[in-house]
Chains A and B, each alone.
Chain A
Amino acid sequence: DQQVKQNSPSLSVQEGRISILNCDYTNSMFDYFLWYKKYPAEGPTFLISISSIKDKNEDGRFTVFLNKSAKHLSLHIVPSQPGDSAVYFCAGNNNAGNMLTFGGGTRLMVKP
């Protein structure tokens, strides 16, 4: 049973428009959520995070929204740039178990 799900395996947007990547989770013990970005032939790199006590966190063009009642979070990228083309993973942190659980990833393609 996947505790973290990213139901869209891929997303294509035009440069300059908004990209919205979605993530659903089932584990109520997650106290922190993180987004990672992965380019081909590289390891994932941290992008942005949000504590479970917040509903929004913003860092430049990236904003993460958390809806705890729906067990849903989303990553907004505005404006999208071709360099944002990558695979994005969301992850939940279970502090009791001290581990990150990742979703399956969404491949974002930003077209010039």
Chain B
Amino acid sequence: EAQVTQNPRYLITVTGKKLTVTCSQNMNHEYMSWYRQDPGLGLRQIYYSMNVEVTDKGDVPEGYKVSRKEKRNFPLILESPSPNQTSLYFCASSSLGHRYEQYFGPGTRLTVT
């Protein structure tokens, strides 16, 4: 089954404790992105990647890191999480020919206290 998976689905952590949210897709897609969704603000892009070792900032990259060492994986790293990073996070992937037609993962609900 074609899918995008994210782990963990729910996470409660404390300020400053480094965490990683994993994202994996099995569709051999070139493009992958991370978004956060907050009430009233909609989905905002954090980072995106056009292929292995090629990443670029989205609209809200501050406080986040990403890497793309393998085509299928695109982890999101919060080196020192803060309460304003409490949000619903989505990973998405798309193919080279249909880069805007994105497949989303199920989401990760992160709470930073």
Are A and B genuine complex partners?
Answer: no
